[in-house]
Amino acid sequence: MTTPLLEVDHVTKDYVRGGLFSRQNVRAVCDVSFQIDSEKPEIFTIIGESGSGKSTLASMILNLNQPSEGTVRFLGNNLSELRSQEDRTRFMAQVQPIFQNPFEAFNPLKQLDHYLFMTARRFTQAHDDETAMRCADAALVKVGLSLAEVRGRYAHELSGGQLQRIAVARALIPSPRLIVADEPVSMVDASLRMSIVNLFKTLRDDLGISIIYITHDLATAYYISDRIIIMQHGKVVEAGEAKTVLANPQHEYSKQLKNAVLIPLI
């Protein structure tokens, strides 16, 4: 039996809110469990509205937050036990994030190629400029761009769709096994969303990368997902094969989400 790529095992996250006399415990994620197979790349989608706990769950998968209860393991390694900088860097190379707003992902005062070269030097053997340039160009080609189109340019000179592609390229430089994409198309023009969504399918099918796709958009979730979980108030209320769940949701909250979608899913 092979070790799963990712195991989320009965994970709960509590926060303390308020001051000394008004302290209040808030449960952002409650007893969530799922696995992603290491031998079968997939797009695993976490669906929920704002406040459902999906981004908090993503932060624990990225090891940016520790669970209050439960365990997150990557290739059998408990993320809370990654102590050394070497272990953390190795994990970060294999699990890469893509965030919601591509305009906030890049400092407007820095050229975009700076981020690509910096990532290549940190996570690969690119110790000189020429090697870093080759790594950056190879990653950009995978997302339909090239270093010649990006070099020397700033974020304000490109569209949101182009910037999100550059963010994906940066994530590809270390050759990750898993990408965690948190609402990656919500800030992209509607006409460009499908190009990003189709890119994720290509990463799964051609590069063998599993993707955790976090969204409130059931239409794109139906189109690209292999499996889904639907979250409400920190809990998983429904889970299973994407098309089965979204075609015939059983939980009342899932039905409400489907009914709120203007474009028919089927």
Q: What is the pLDDT of residues 134-175, one digit of tens each?
A: 999 999 999 999 999 999 999 999 988 899 999 999 999 999
CA distances from 93 to 171, 173, 217, 230, 241 (A): 9, 9, 28, 28, 29
Q: What angle do CA 181, 185, 186 make, to 5 degrees?
A: 110
For the residues 36-55, what does the mean pLDDT come to? 94
Confidence tier at 266 by pLDDT (50, 70, 90): very low
Q: What is the CA radius of gyration of the chain?
A: 19
Please state, for a pLDDT cut of 70, what percent of the chain lies above it: 97
Residue 180 clears pLDDT 90, i.e. is over it: yes
Q: Using CA atoms, how far apart are residues 59 and 250, in angstroms rounded to an integer?
A: 28
What are the sequence ranges of the domains in the chain?
6-105+178-260
pLDDT attached to residue 102: 82
pLDDT attached to residue 20: 67
Q: Classify 6-105+178-260 by CATH class.
A: alpha beta
pLDDT attached to residue 16: 84
State the Cα torsion 258-264-265-266 to the nearest 10°.
130
Query: For all residues of the chain together, what is the average pLDDT?
Result: 91
Please state, for a pLDDT cut of 90, what percent of the chain lies above it: 72
Confidence tier at 228 by pLDDT (50, 70, 90): very high
CA distances from 209 to 59, 79, 96, 108, 200 (A): 19, 20, 11, 30, 9
Residue 262 clears pLDDT 70, i.e. is over it: no
Q: In what order do the strands lie in the sheet with 210-215?
A: 95-98, 178-182, 210-215, 43-47, 227-232, 235-241
User: Nearest CA to 40 among 249, 204, 212?
Assistant: 204
Q: Determine which of 24-28, 81-85, 187-191, 207-211 has the lowest per-residue pLDDT on average.
A: 187-191
Residue 81 clears pLDDT 90, i.e. is over it: yes
For the residues 107-129, what does the mean pLDDT come to? 91
pLDDT attached to residue 261: 62
Q: Determine which of 81-90, 102-111, 199-208 has the lowest per-residue pLDDT on average.
A: 102-111
Confidence tier at 185 by pLDDT (50, 70, 90): confident
Residue 264 clears pLDDT 70, i.e. is over it: no
Q: Cβ distance 246 to 265 under 8 Å?
A: yes
User: Nearest CA to 46 among 200, 234, 178, 177?
Assistant: 234
Confidence tier at 265 by pLDDT (50, 70, 90): very low
- Report which residue type is found at 87: D
CA-based end-to-end distance of the chain: 36
Q: What confidence tens digit (pLDDT) does each residue in 94-110 have?
A: 999 998 888 888 888 99
